[in-house]
Amino acid sequence: MSIFEDNNRRLADIRELEGISEAEMSVLDNPVQTKYAELEVNGRKYPAWRIVYNRALGPGKGGIRFHPDVSEDEVKSLSFWMALKNSLADIPYGGAKGGVKFNPKDSNQEELEAISRAYIRAFHEYLGENKDVPAPDVYTNAQIMAWMLDEFEKINGRHEPGMITGKPLEIGGLALRGDATARGGYLIIKEMAAEFLRGRRNKKIKIAIQGFGNAGLFMTEKLFNDGYKIIAVSDSQGAVYNEDGLNIPEIIKLKNSGQSVGVYSGGRKISNAELLELPVDILVLAALENQIIKENAPRVRADYLVELANGPISYEADLILEKNKKIIVPDILANSGGVIVSYFEWAQNKTGQILDEEYLRGLLGKKMKLNWRRVYEKYSEKNGAITLRQAAYILAIRKILTAEKWRG
């Protein structure tokens, strides 16, 4: 089953739970804009997409990923999640996403720059600070955003830093953006632990983290510094496990030197699949989509799962985990710190007003805690009849539908 079909099943559940009419929900059945292009670079063609799912709350907003498994189904699903995430976060954006199908690990800097600029040439007329605002995603970064901004401004003959976020500081970015997704997820874990693990000391709470990219690494560091026991971490090449706890600063040094976490000598090497089934309190999913599916869901032993990545748990796995009394903190809540800080960057670019970083860090914290509280209260008022994911979806969808009604 495709990721998007999974999304439609989740939407159908919300429609039934809330008694929403089919006509109302039809505005979320499909994206409002789907654009496809083949980028021609050095004699090769690269499939590329930019999809806007909904614009009821504002311009499109969502990252661009470079990955060999990018597909229209994936980008469409990611844009759907962005629409809900932005709505839940209470920021004035619709949802969008983009991607290019290739393996950036096989490309040098010159090729990456050429592909980045080719992407903007293909889609520039659909982008802009008031149309659709990209950002970094899987295997894209501040440098790629800078190339894209430069190409957009050259084509249009004007400065418009608000057309893209996640930029370097020198051309309109925010220092806070670098670890915003991890910081937001870390704050959500603290709120969740305070609610569900009351009385448990941090050093007694065991955590495994799948995915040691930017978001996973920064979150692991913050949790370790806060005294939580990190017993396993993984990257795309493998995983390492130590029941007594890992020395996270040493693993970060290895990772920053270009090595895999698997070379760390202070633990036992295991597979990604084994990590997902460890007996931990909290499992953080910070890799890619569909990591827990119906085949491995029955073997998940973590009591609490946090989706720092987008869509790491399939619909059928959701049902199994719910039956097994597992608590899942959904992606549209857990990883929304990145887009909230992207909003800060966009607003600063549009207004020209420079805001204090400490003020923005505090504002991010307030928004993450408020969003957790709203989702938890919706979950609690139903007395266990819905999941945290369904509570988040209800809040996000209701806001989008209300905006659509006001628009007629």
Where in the sequence numbering do the catalytic residues fall? 97
Give the contacts of 359 (CB within 8 A, at least 6 positions apart): none
With left for phi above 0 and alpha for psi between -120 and 50, is residue 139 left, alpha or beta?
left
* DSSP assignments along 202-254, one per residue: GGG-EEEEE--SHHHHHHHHHHHHTT-EEEEEEETTEEEE-TT---HHHHHHH
Distances (CA, A) of 67 to 39, 107, 138: 14, 12, 7
Contacts of 225 (CB under 8 A, 6+ apart): none
Number of C-alpha atoms within 13 angstroms, CB side, residue 124? Answer: 17
Distance between CA atoms of 310 and 315, rounded to whole angstroms? 13
Residue 371 gets the label, from left (phi > 0), alpha (psi -120 to 50) or beta, of: alpha
Instruction: Quote the DSSP letter at residue 354.
Output: P
314-321 long-range Cβ contacts below 8 angstroms, 24+ apart = 314/1, 314/6, 314/290, 315/1, 315/6, 315/9, 315/10, 316/1, 317/292, 317/293, 318/10, 318/387, 318/389, 320/294, 321/292, 321/297
CB of 77 closer than 8 Å to CB of 10: no
Query: How many residues in the chain?
Result: 408
Spatial separation of the C-alpha atoms in residues 251 and 301, rounded to whole Å: 25
Residue 59 is given by DSSP the state S
Contact, 240 vs 220, CB < 8 A? no
* Element housing 363 (H / E): helix 357-381
The Cα 329–Cα 283 span in angstroms is: 10
Q: What is d(CA 91, CA 371) in angstroms, rounded to the nearest whole number?
A: 11
Q: Distance of CA 2 to CAs 35, 284, 307, Å?
A: 19, 23, 19
